[in-house]
Structure 1
Amino acid sequence: MNRQTHPIKLGGVHHAAYRCKDAKETVEWYRDVLGMEYTTAFAEDHVPSTGDYDPYMHVFLDAGNGNILAFFELPTQKGMGRDENTPAWVQHLAFRVGSEEELLAAKEHVESLGIDVLGPTHHGIFKSIYFFDPNGHRVELAADIGTDEQYAELKRVAPLMLEEWSETKKAPRHADWLHELARKDHAEV
C-alpha cells in the first residue's frame, strides 16, 4: 500500500511534544538559541484525554515551515530522566538549516552562548552539529549537501538495506559510497 491508496491521508506532523524541566526557561532557550517563535500555551490541572489530575504547562514553538515543537512542564511528577538503556546520541531533535554556511554560522552562534557543540559531522549527504538543550535533549542542526542522484540512490537501496539488516543485524554495505564521500571531504580539510 502506498500513500496514494492508504486510507489515512497525513498532512505532516502537527507537533512533536517532549518534556521539559521549566517551561519558561525552555521557551527562552529555543527562542534565543534557535530563533524559534513562541506561539501558544495550554495549562490545565486535569489531563483532557484521561481526566487525571496532573497539572501541566504545554508550550508550543514554531520551528519554521509549519513544524511545531512542544514541551510539557509537569511539576507534580518525578524529576525528568532519560532512557538509560538508550545512548544519549540516539534520541534527538534534528532541524534543517539552509546551507553549510548557515550551519557554520549557527555553530558560531551557539558556541558564543557558552554551549558545547560537536561537529560539523559529515554524513555523506548532509553535515550536522550537535548540542544539548537545558532539559538534556540532544539537538541537531543539519545542512543537506547531497545531489538529487544521491538521494534517489538512497531511496532505491533503502528496502534492500532494511531487509539485510533485519536478517543479519549488521550494517548493510549498499551505501558505502556515503562513507567515502565523508572521508574525501575530511581529507580535503
Structure 2
Amino acid sequence: MVKATGIHHIAIMSADVKTHIEFFSDVMGCKLSALFDMHGVPGGLHAFMHLDDDCYFSIVQLPAAKDIPIEIGVTHSGTGAGACAPGTMQHLAFKVDTPDQLVAIRDRIRKKGVNVIGPIDHGMCQSIYFGGPESLTLEVATSNEEIDQRAWIDPKVLEKAGINAEEAEQYQNPDPYDGEGGAVKQPPYDPDKPHQAYPKDMYMQMLQAPDEVIWNTASHTEPPVKV
C-alpha cells in the first residue's frame, strides 16, 4: 500500500533566514545541510536543517515577508493552546527517541538561554514547550510505542468533530492503493477541491501541461557548489 510515511521537510516563512539557521543549529543542535537560491522563485532563499537523513526543517526567506506583520491569534498561535487562522501551523513538534533524550534536549535549550516548559506526560507522548524565532510555537516530544487507536480515539470527541461511526471506521482504515505506474491523468478542475493559489490562468496552464513538461521545465538538479 502506498501512503505518506513521514515528513521530508516542513517549510517556515522567514524575513531573516540567518536567525533561524543560528537558532536551529546552536539551540537545537541541527546542522545546516543546504542553503541556496529558491528554485524558480526570484529573490527567494531556501535553507534545510538536518533532523535525520530523510527529515529536514526548512526555512524560506522571501523579500515580501518583511512587510507582512506577525499577529498572535491570526498568523501565529503564540502558545500550544492558542488559536490562529485556519490552515496555519498551530505548533510544530520535533521528535526525540526517549524520555532521557527529552530531558537532555531541554538541558541544551535552557543552556542556550531559552526558557522551556515541561516535560508534561500526555499519556500517548511526553513533551516540552518553548518559543522559536519570529514567534514560532515549538515542542519536542517522545513516544515509546505507536499510538493505540482503541484507547486514544474518543467517541465523544468523534461526535464533537461531526464524525459518524462509518466515517470513523473509514478514517482508521484507509482504502489500500498501490498506484498505477503513473497512468492516472490530471483530473478536471473542480473548484470544490483544494487548490494552490497561483493566478488562475497560470494555474490552468499548469494543470493542462503534461507531467513530462512540468518535469523538464521546472526541475533544478545541479547543486550550487561543485564537489
1:14 touches 1:67 (CA, 8 Å); kept in 2? yes
Quick one: distance in 2 between partners of 1:65 and 1:160? 38
Partner of 1:69: 57
Superposition pairs of residues 108-187 of structure 1, within 5 angstroms: 108-145=107-144, 151-152=147-148, 154-155=149-150, 158=153, 160=155, 163-167=158-162
| Structure 2 counterpart SS, 1:98 | coil
**Structure 2, gaps ≥5 residues long:** 81-89, 164-227
Runs of 4+ in 1 over 6 A off after TM superposition: none
Partner of 1:89: 79
User: How far 1:131 moved relative to its partner?
Assistant: 0.8
Partner of 1:59: 47
Partner of 2:201: none
Quick one: distance in 2 between partners of 1:167 and 1:10? 25
Two-structure CA RMSD over aligned residues (Å): 2.7
The structure in which a higher percent of residues are strand is: 1
Return closer, same or farther for 1:106/1:58 CA change in 2, 3 Å cut-off: same
Return closer, same or farther for 1:125/1:11 CA change in 2, 3 Å cut-off: closer
| Structure 1 counterpart SS, 2:133 | coil
**Structure 2 residue identity aligned to 1:19:** M
2:77 touches 2:91 (CA, 8 Å); kept in 1? no
Return closer, same or farther for 1:11/1:111 CA change in 2, 3 Å cut-off: closer
Return closer, same or farther for 1:155/1:22 CA change in 2, 3 Å cut-off: farther
Return closer, same or farther for 1:65/1:84 CA change in 2, 3 Å cut-off: same
Q: How many residue pairs end up in the alignment?
A: 152
Larger of the two Rg values belongs to structure: 2
**Structure 1 residue identity aligned to 2:110:** E
Deviations 1:75-129 (A, max 9, x none): 3431451462463234122111121111112112211111111111111121111
**Structure 2 residue identity aligned to 1:61:** M
Could you tell me the percent identity over the aligned residues?
25
Partner of 1:31: 25
Quick one: distance in 2 between partners of 1:144 and 1:98? 7
**Structure 1, gaps ≥5 residues long:** 169-189
Aligned match for 1:43, one of 37, 41, 44: 37
